[in-house]
Copies of this chain bind each other. A is one copy, B any other.
């Protein structure tokens, strides 16, 4: 069984209130490493057997149609072992 991962992030030019809130909270807890934080979604999709190219193409389509909102978000699809 393999896992296909779709990461969905707000486009860089779109305001990310959640990422902003996290970035503001980190230094209050003494964590100073972050220059910026963006928060997005991660979908883990379980498929039977090794994902085929056709399957990945389908996932791309689903990512565009359902998993992301192309008006404000970008996505990437990859296979994870």
How would you classify the secondary structure of chain A's contact residues: helix, strand, loop or mixed?
A: mixed
**Given the complex of chains A and B, what is the CA–CA distance between A64 and B15 in angstroms?**
25
Judge whether A11 is part of the interface by a CB distance below 8 angstroms.
no
CB distance from A3 to the nearest CB of B (A): 9
Tally of chain A residues near chain B (CB < 8 A)? 36
Contact between chains at B48 and A35 (CB < 8 Å): yes
CB distance from A39 to the nearest CB of B (A): 6
The 5 closest A-B pairs by CB, nearest first: A42-B42, A36-B46, A35-B46, A40-B42, A38-B44
A residues bordering B, Cβ < 8 Å?
1, 4, 7-9, 19, 22, 25-26, 29, 31, 33-48, 51, 55, 58-59, 61-62, 65-67
